């Protein structure tokens, strides 16, 4: 176990260096000059432009800039935003809870609905319910996320007026963030209706972000379940005279969950990607929206720092999933 942990963490080091290099290069490959963008429409004199370029260090060769960036990263310094002059790490930490809250809710939706849907489709294999569930899952998987989000906003928020269009909480409420998670903070604030408002704001983004993972989880559960239901040990369980609920819900599902857990873990990486779109559409103040805005402004240090932090989090999540695998699959003991 300890040995495996060391090996896996050791493997993360080259991945980490690769991530710093890619995040550094990606933003510089984009056309556009951060200094000119900062100047806005009025532009600036050549002399001032050169001075700013020198101030930010952009007049030096790339390799020098990269080494300096890497040196900073190793000391825990990701630089500061050109626009706000706030350290990147600090901005990230303020915004990250919003993304985590949204992603967790989306993942919760995907598992709580996706796993039962997959199980039901598997035991009703080939019948109407199976085709219906899997057809819906395919539609959910293939649908463009932005279109789905806009449709939901138009119908649910616009026509029915059931949910707010954007943001994390109504402007009526204001309190200092404690945990950064709106659901918890709104409860802690003790303000009447704050929690309800936070929930209402979460509903549509959760559905939009959760749709693809939901479809993936449902389809994966169905196929894992179908495979497991044909196994000898399921027949043994039935030969014991157990109820169908116990045979499917305990003996079969326990085995089917092994591949499903891996899928859920992999989906977490996908969620961070999906969050960019969802957060932008719903004006959700998370890291997705933050990244998009920083790319538009060519805020180099924010983009490279943000990408790097996301990469690290995905790596850590994957490591945790691998370790969890040993808990749910008795055949793997580290």
Partner 1 sequence: MSLLEIENLTVEFQTAQGQFRAVDGVSLSVDQGELMAIVGESGSGKSVSMLALMGLLPWTATITADRLEFDGIDLVRQSARDRRKVIGKDMAMIFQEPMTSLNPCFTVGFQITEALKTHLGGSRATRRARAVELLNLVGLPEPERRLNAFPHQLSGGMNQRVMIAIAIACRPKLLIADEPTTALDVTIQAQILDLLLDLREKEGMALILITHDMGVVAETAERVSVQYAGQKVEEQKVRDLFRDPHHPYTSALLSALPERAQGKKLPTLPGVVPGLFDRPEGCLFAPRCAHAFDLCHKRQAVQAGAEDGFALCHTPLRKGVPTSLEGASLEGQVRS
The residue ranges that bind partner 1 (CB under 8 A) are 231-233, 235-243, 251, 254-255, 258, 328-331
Nearer to partner 1, 118 or 288 (CB): 118
Nearer to partner 1, 29 or 128 (CB): 128
Distance of closest approach, residue 230 Cβ to partner 1, in angstroms:
9
Distance of closest approach, residue 253 Cβ to partner 1, in angstroms:
10
Distance of closest approach, residue 236 Cβ to partner 1, in angstroms:
5
Backbone angles phi, psi at 187, to 5 degrees: -70, -45
Q: Structure tokens of 325?
A: 């695998």
Question: Crossing angle for the helix pair 253-281 and 300-328, nearest 10 degrees?
Answer: 170
Distance of closest approach, residue 231 Cβ to partner 1, in angstroms:
7
Nearer to partner 1, 22 or 328 (CB): 328
Distance of closest approach, residue 318 Cβ to partner 1, in angstroms:
23
Nearer to partner 1, 8 or 246 (CB): 246
Distance of closest approach, residue 119 Cβ to partner 1, in angstroms:
16
Residue 332 neighbours by CB under 8 Å, 6+ apart: 325, 326
Distance separating alpha carbons of residues 289 and 299, to the nearest angstrom: 13
Nearer to partner 1, 120 or 258 (CB): 258
Distance of closest approach, residue 224 Cβ to partner 1, in angstroms:
13
Nearer to partner 1, 182 or 256 (CB): 256
Distance separating alpha carbons of residues 44 and 52, to the nearest angstrom: 10
Nearer to partner 1, 60 or 254 (CB): 254
């Amino acid at each position: 176990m300890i040995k495996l942990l060391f090996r896996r963490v050791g493997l993360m080091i080259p991945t980490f260096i690769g991530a710093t290099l890619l995040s550094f290069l990606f933003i510089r490959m984009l056309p556009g000059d951060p200094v000119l963008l900062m100047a806005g429409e009025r532009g600036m004199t050549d002399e001032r432009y050169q001075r700013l370029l020198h101030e930010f260090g952009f007049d030096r060769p790339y390799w020098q800039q990269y080494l300096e960036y890497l040196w900073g990263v190793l000391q825990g310094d990701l630089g500061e935003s050109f626009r706000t002059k706030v350290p990147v790490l600090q901005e990230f930490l303020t915004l990250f809870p919003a993304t985590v809250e949204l992603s967790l809710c989306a993942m919760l939706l995907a598992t709580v609905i996706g796993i039962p849907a997959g199980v039901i489709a598997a035991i009703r294999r080939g019948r109407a319910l199976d085709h219906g569930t899997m057809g819906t899952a395919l539609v959910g998987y293939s649908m463009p996320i932005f279109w789905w989000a806009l449709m939901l906003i138009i119908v649910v928020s616009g026509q029915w007026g059931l949910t707010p269009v954007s943001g994390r909480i109504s402007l009526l409420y204001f309190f200092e963030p404690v945990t950064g998670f709106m659901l918890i903070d709104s409860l802690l604030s003790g303000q009447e209706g704050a929690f309800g408002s936070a929930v209402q704001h979460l509903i549509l983004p959760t559905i939009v972000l959760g749709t693809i993972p939901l479809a993936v989880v449902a389809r994966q559960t169905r196929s894992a379940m179908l495979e497991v239901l044909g196994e000898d040990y399921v027949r043994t369980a039935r030969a014991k005279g157990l109820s169908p609920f116990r045979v499917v819900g305990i003996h079969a599902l326990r085995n089917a969950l092994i591949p499903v857990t891996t899928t859920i873990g992999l989906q977490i990486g996908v969620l961070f990607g999906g969050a960019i779109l969802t957060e932008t559409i719903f004006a959700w103040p998370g890291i997705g929206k933050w990244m998009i805005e920083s790319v538009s402004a060519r805020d180099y240090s924010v983009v490279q720092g943000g990408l790097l932090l996301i990469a690290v989090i995905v790596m850590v999540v994957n490591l945790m999933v691998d370790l969890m695998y040993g808990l749910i699959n008795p055949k793997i003991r580290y």
